[in-house]
């Protein structure tokens, strides 16, 4: 298993921990913001360290179902993050009344559960697409 897969899995466990300790706001916010930054910069790291042209174009993986499922999970995760940040900013701003804040917190939690479901699936599909894993499965 590669270091990237181990790192992504460890950050996923950290995210679950931060989700369940949301009542400790300083811990929750700092971990979630850090993981959001990691998730946004992770594709850059992968682009810089992998031979994507060979894998996607030469080997023809660009047309496989797994690549497109993984891509859609990445897009879904980024959309959930964007909505999550907007709702969190509305909660923290304090401009809303108490009833609206409770509704926003409920939405924030539901989006968090969506992230906790989407992110492991994205890591799993990414692990299946990793060259060393794909070679071991096929060969």
- DSSP-derived 3-state class of residue 45: helix
Express as a percent the part of the chain with pLDDT over 90.
60
- For residues 29-35, give the mean pLDDT: 94
**Beta-strand runs (E) in the chain:** none
| pLDDT for residue 2 | 78
Q: Tell me if 48 sits within 8 A of 59, measured CB to CB.
A: no
- Distance, in Å, from the CA atom of 17 to the CA atom of 15, rounded to the nearest integer, reads 5
Domains of the chain, by residue range, sit at 3-129
Q: Tell me if 118 sits within 8 A of 80, measured CB to CB.
A: yes
pLDDT, tens digit (0-9, with 9 covering 90-100), for 61-95:
778 888 899 999 999 999 999 999 999 999 888 88
User: CA 66 → CA 19, 58, 62, 105, 116, distances in Å?
Assistant: 28, 17, 9, 34, 20
| pLDDT for residue 137 | 54
- Which stretch of 27-31, 33-37, 39-43, 71-75 has the lowest confidence by average pLDDT? 39-43
């Amino acid at each position: 298993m590669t270091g990237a897969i181990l790192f992504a899995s460890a950050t996923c466990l950290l995210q679950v921990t931060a989700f369940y300790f949301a009542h400790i706001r300083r811990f929750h916010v700092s971990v979630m913001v850090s993981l959001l930054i990691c998730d946004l910069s992770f594709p850059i790291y992968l682009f810089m360290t992998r031979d994507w042209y060979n894998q996607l174009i030469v080997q023809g993986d660009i047309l496989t179902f797994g690549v497109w499922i993984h891509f859609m999970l990445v897009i879904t995760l980024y959309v959930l993050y964007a909505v999550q940040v907007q709702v969190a900013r509305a909660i923290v701003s304090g401009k809303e009344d108490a009833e609206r804040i409770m509704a926003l917190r409920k939405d924030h939690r539901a989006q968090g559960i969506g992230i906790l479901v989407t992110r492991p699936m994205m890591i799993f599909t990414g692990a299946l697409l990793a060259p060393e894993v794909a070679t071991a499965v096929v060969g």
